[in-house]
Amino acid sequence: MPNARPSHLTRRGLLAAGGALGIGAALAACGKSDDKGGSGKAAEKSGPWKFRDDRGTTVELKSLPKNIVAFTGTAAALHDYGVEVKGVFGPTRTKDGKPDVQAGDLDISRVKIVGNVYGEFNIEQYAALSPELLITNMWAKDDPWYVPPQSKDKIMKLAPSVLLWAAETTMAKALQRHAELAESLGGDVRGKKTADAKARFEKAAARLRSAAKAKPDIKILIGSGSQDLFYVSVPKTSADTLYFQELGVKFVEPKPNAQGFFEELSWENAGKYGADIIILDNRTGTLQPDSLTKKPTWGKLPAVKAGQVIPRVTEPIYSYDKCAPILEDLAKAIETAKKVA
């Protein structure tokens, strides 16, 4: 994973991809919204709103929030359930103007991007949205993901917040929690689209379990490349890979640093662990296979030589629609893999 991460991140260091003015007015505007953005089908509901997040904090509002600002991946998950946000922060637009992989099916032209890279969060633009609710993930307890620590206090005073676990949980539980949040916001979590997506996810989970059982000797390395280092992640620390472990998938178990999420290896030592498959961080701030060909040791890894490298959706969009293909791709990789390590 990228080395360009602030030293104060502690457990944030796992994921930060290489990549307050108007407080009184914003608080006074709570409950107001315009016709742009908003909560989609949620606008059809009325009355008080209440939700208990993964901090154990219960957020109560006099009415359903319409002016929602969310971490990009979380906004993408809500979008899949018909809940739209007014603003986002986190990787949203690539340098060439296209949607970032973490934006999912969001129409990025219809949301205000108040921060597009780690450490960037425009408080004035955020306040101008009259936010009623901020939603993001947690990779560490009470730590709002992609909210810069240096301006966290100012930002969190502007509006109530909901935080959902992306670590210390499993993909299945994270999916359930995001669906519960979406439903509370007026999203459609019981219609045919969601039912079909959930059925596909459950079928994919069964397929992955069967693939892992049929090939118990296949071992997978969770990798991420930066210019100077190759990061090997600990499987139990992320919701996706912990869930894969529960389904029987075998992973390389590195010796993590003090943060406990990953082990940093110099490129000279990239072959420290043998693996039959590498799932490689797909985020735009990390090196992808075409760039890694410049690293001589990369090409010598058994999984690379065998063509057994697939993208890893390191920060999944927690809707059934987006998570089902992740399981399908991993199941296929195991089903077709040869023992090479």
Query: How does pLDDT run across 17-70, given as a tens digit for each residue?
Result: 333 222 222 223 333 333 334 444 444 556 899 999 999 999 999 999 999 999
Distance of CA 224 to the CA centre of its chain: 15
3-state secondary structure of 292: helix
Distance of CA 236 to the CA centre of its chain: 16
Q: What percent of the chain has pLDDT over 70?
A: 87
Q: Is 340's pLDDT higher than 60? A: yes
Phi, psi of 312 (to 5 degrees): -110, 125
Q: What is the pLDDT of residue 44?
A: 54
Residue with tokens 């390395």: 221
Q: What is the pLDDT of residue 47?
A: 81
CA 219 → CA 14, 134, 212, 307, distances in Å? 22, 39, 10, 15
CA angle, residues 266, 272, 275, in degrees to nearest 5: 120
Q: What is the pLDDT of residue 259?
A: 86
Strand order in the sheet with 68-71: 112-115, 87-89, 68-71, 133-138, 161-165
Q: What is the pLDDT of residue 14?
A: 45
Q: Which residues pair with 224 in a beta bridge?
A: 231
Q: What is the pLDDT of residues 247-296, one digit of tens each?
A: 999 999 999 998 899 999 999 999 999 999 999 999 999 999 999 999 99
Q: Is 12's pLDDT higher than 90? A: no
- For residue 16, give every residue at least 6 positions away whose Cβ sits within 8 Å of its Cβ, in sequence order, or none: 2, 5, 6, 9, 118
The structure's pTM equals 0.86
